[in-house]
Amino acid sequence: MAELVDGLAANARALADGIGAIEGAEIVNEVVFTQVCVAFGDDERTRAVTARVLADGTAWMSGSLWRDRAVLRISVSNWSTDADDVAASVASVRRAAATV
């Protein structure tokens, strides 16, 4: 069980690192477990990036609020998520952020 949890948390940190490197992306929470919250400037742009990520269909990420701020919320919870999934998810967010 500990190995599973450690793997989920490592994937969350990898997603935060990859998405955090995208121009205009800001990781707004401390990634200590499996949750990553990302803002892309103002709330309107963040919601637009979130909508594009969902429309892309590569990964499921949701819109949410973090401290009264719109965020793209990522919850890493699937045991089968691997490095390829993380890379595909980061690429999806990168595409979405580039088109908004």
Instruction: Confirm whether pTM is higher than 0.85.
Output: yes
Cβ atoms of residues 93 and 22 within 8 Å: yes
Tell me 35's DSSP state: E
From first to last of its 100 residues, what are the pLDDT tens digits of the chain?
999 999 999 999 999 999 999 999 999 999 999 999 999 999 999 999 999 999 999 999 999 999 999 999 999 999 999 999 999 999 999 999 999 8
d(CA 94, CA 1): 32
CATH of the domain at 43: 3.90.1150.10
For 94, the domain range is: 2-99
d(CA 47, CA 51): 6
Total tally of structural domains belonging to the chain: 1
Query: What is the enclosing helix (H) or strand (E) of 68?
Result: none
Residue 11: predicted pLDDT: 97
